[in-house]
Amino acid sequence: MKKGFSRRIFTPGILAGDVWFILKNIPKFVAYRKNPTFDRAFLEKVMSVVTAVNGCVYCSWFHAKEASAAGISQDEIDDLFQLQFDTEANDFELPALKYAQHFAETGRKPDPEETAAFVGYYGEKTATEIMLFIRLILWGNLLGNTYDAFLSRLKGDPAPDSNVIFETLFFIFNFPLLFPASLLMKKDAKKAA
């Protein structure tokens, strides 16, 4: 018996809110990407943890490659995607990785005490910067998952409480980005086999 597509996906309201959030924060993303506090490996670890929670296959493929290019070992990448990062994360990284996991697992509704502890540890400015990247990868995860939800629907296994019209339009709009990504993923999988 089919259980339905189980990964989190966009609704029209969440998509609209996320697009607005991304657009209004583009200058901050650019500026924070250049912040020496956040090296590439740290940002990839945060993005990998959120992706592990949401299960986006496109983001998993992409961020595993990016994490490797940032100098993260394959063993640590595997651990990040299994949410087993406690032993390898340093003191600066660990609270961010735990909060990223919590934020993603709660569907963007983190416990206020968890948020206060996160902000208390990093300070308002750094916590806000980390949160921007958590939100950015959540957007990417839901983008890939919503695309896949349409493909799952075509196989007779739709996402619960989904909207066929929204999924169809979303699929059409994102096909130029995600179809080539799916081909590259398959090509990489063949090389690895």
Which residue is it, tokens 């968890």?
114
pTM here is 0.93
> 189 exposed, middle or buried (CB, 10 Å; 0-12, 13-18, 19+)?
exposed
SS3 165: helix
Average pLDDT in the chain: 93
d(CA 43, CA 28) in angstroms, rounded, equals 15
Q: Are 165 and 25 in contact (CB under 8 A)?
A: no
- 64-96 residue pLDDT tens: 999 999 999 999 999 999 999 998 999 999 999
- 166-176 residue pLDDT tens: 999 999 999 99
Complete DSSP assignment for 94-136:
HHHHHHHHHHHHTTS---HHHHHHHHHHH-HHHHHHHHHHHHH
